[in-house]
Chains A and B, each alone.
Chain A
Amino acid sequence: MNTDLVGQHVLDINHLTVEFRTVSGWSPAVRDLSLTIGRNEVFGLVGESGSGKSVSAMSILGLLPRRGTRIGGGHVRLGKTDLLGATSKQLDQVRGSRVGMIFQEPMTSLNPAYTIGEQIAESVRRHRGATRRQAWDRAVSLLSRVGIPTAARNAERYPHHFSGGMRQRAMIAMALACEPELLIADEPTTALDVTVQALILDLIAELRAESDMSVLLITHDLAVVSEVADRVGVMYAGELVEQASTADVFNAPQHPYTSGLLSSILALDSTREFAGIPGSVPSVDREFPGCRFADRCAFATDACTISPVALRRSAGRIHRCLRSDELVLEGAR
């Protein structure tokens, strides 16, 4: 990996709060989220379904529905570009060009009415001002790069001719069409078979290695980030609860929630359900006086429920647990 390039921030999310309109008013689905991603770094964002990962990702590119959504505060910068303050025209110059995005459902994320090649080529035409011919040729070579066999022929086919794995490869080709600085991959393997999952992850790792692209890899599955991420952020109920290098998170988690996630990937039945943590993620309009994880935490004390727990930093690690110093939490290695 091009470690010499690591260090410069490509993405800088600072105190981001995103709110949805609910019956009880504006409720934050993402609370005071801060994280940075360095050049050529793979940052894994994990947490159970409903913890606010997708909302965070979508707000980077302004893809959340305009009605019923608002930014409660903070900023998001891509290099020197302020994304939250950008007009939709400015955002359109970033989307697909400097930031590529792939989604969970390769089945529904491609338009059934257009060929695979066209859906890649249109991005090249839009951002590179390429001719139809040039854009098409680029689409074919991208498809071939992501491992689609007989790419020239397959480019002319429609999404329904492709298998799930091939569609996701096509999505990756589409996201990479204009050599973005940042690839956002929101649950890129969740909808795929286990064997295909590994191939797609390998592909993302390879593509990162051969360019200086950074990756925000979002997943509810810690096993996925363990293979490719350099650093990991753990989200719970809209908040970042822990952030550290992948090795640190796996060897010595500092938050009971992280430890619970780790124990569940080790569970023998391996259904990847969060067997390790009882209960479920609270809805966005639930308010808690203290630690938001307290009602599910095996280590909770009275002190935990008095006032909100702030992020704490020590030795390059960040966590949001009052008792982390005294607890010895179970890791995965």
Chain B
Amino acid sequence: MLTFVLRRLGILLLTLGLVTVIGFLLIHITPGDPAVAAAGPDADQATIAATRVELGLDRPLVVQFWEYTTGLVRLDFGTSFDGGRPVLDAITDRLPATLSLVIASLLVALLISIPLGVGTAVHRGSIWDRIGVLLASLGVALPDFFVGLVLVLVLALQLGIFDATGYVPLFDDPIQWAYLLVLPALTLGTTVAAELTRHIRASVSDVLELDYVRTARSKGLGSTRVILKHASRNAAMPVVTVFGNQIARLLGGTVIVEQIFSIPGIGQLLVQSVFTRDIPMVLGIGIFIAMIVLLVNVLIDLSYGWLNPRVRA
């Protein structure tokens, strides 16, 4: 088990290094001069040149890269071009809002997909199964956020409930926090729910056909126990993989949803930083999000060991 974990962590670090290189090159190669942006709209040539030196942009790319990566190892993501604020500070400031959105969306996705996926699998071929499958296929086929945005239209604009946008920190006002998260979480969560439902249904109905489920039934365990204990753990394996991919998708989705609902999260910060050509900020956010995605994947890999004892060997 230990070597399994170490190997996973090794792969994680390697991937992270790769992400850094690619991100760094991509941003520095794209046209447009960050020094122009950093110097401000009315700056003359001299000011721009001075800014360039001040930000270290005049040095060779290799040197810049070396400084940046050695900083990363010390968890120093550099400082923002815009005001000189440490990038990590800016990110952690906005982390609670994004985290709230992501967790609420996951909750929505799971609360919809687990009952729907398991229910349709257990009652396969019934009218409820067909309705469930239809809904899930629609959700998958329609563009991201479409279902969520229709819900917004109905709930906010037609019915007038949940009609506010914005964000209130959890500890300031928990009720307002939850209230404001409902719509964005629905927008982000329903897309993921559709994808998960399809996978849960497929996986559970496959597992329900297996011999050991029949064995469990032959022991008189009762259908709830058969499904929850004997089927779910093995059915979870493929679903957990999809779940991991969906988390990456969800994090990407926050960029748009935070814009729509004026949530001061990391996604919003990213959009702003791109417009101001704030290279350290854009790169920092990219690497930070990559770190989270990779960490989630490691956790998911580890969960395989728990779900399936054969992986542990």
Contacts and interface: CB of A to CB of B under 8 A. Distances in A.
A94 interface: yes
Interface string B211-239: 11011111111110000011001100000
B210 to A, nearest CB: 7
Contacts of B223: 88
B309 A158 contact: yes
Contacts of A61: 218
A232 interface: no
Contacts of A112: 212, 234, 308-310
B28 interface: no
Contact of B219 (A67, A89, A96): A96
Contacts of B216: 111
B125 interface: yes
Contacts of A94: 220
A160 B214 contact: no
A172 to B, nearest CB: 12
Nearest to B236: A113
Nearest to B216: A111
B217 A63 contact: yes
A96 B220 contact: yes
Interface string A89-102: 10111111100110
B215 A160 contact: no
B298 interface: no
Nearest to B220: A95
B85 interface: no
B283 to A, nearest CB: 42
A126 interface: yes
Contacts of B215: 101, 103, 109-111, 171, 174
A108 B214 CA distance: 10
Nearest to B306: A113
Contact of A109 (B124, B212, B309): B212
A95 B310 contact: no
A108 B220 contact: no
Contacts of A93: 220
B307 interface: yes
Nearest to B217: A63
Given A108-B211, A109-B212, A127 B310 contact: no
Given A103-B214, A110-B212, A126 B309 contact: no
Interface in A106-149: 108-114, 122-123, 126-127
Given A109-B212, A111-B212, A111-B234, A160 B219 contact: no
Contacts of B233: 113
B253 to A, nearest CB: 33
14 contacts: A92-B221, A96-B219, A96-B220, A103-B211, A103-B215, A109-B215, A110-B215, A111-B234, A112-B308, A113-B233, A113-B309, A123-B220, A126-B219, A126-B220
Given A89-B222, A110-B212, A122-B221, 17 more contacts: A61-B218, A67-B124, A92-B220, A92-B221, A95-B218, A95-B220, A96-B219, A97-B220, A100-B218, A111-B215, A111-B216, A113-B233, A123-B219, A123-B220, A127-B220, A174-B215, A174-B219
Interface of B: 124-125, 210-212, 214-223, 229-230, 233-234, 307-310, 313
Interface of A: 61, 63, 67, 88-89, 91-97, 100-101, 103, 105, 108-114, 122-123, 126-127, 158, 160, 171, 174
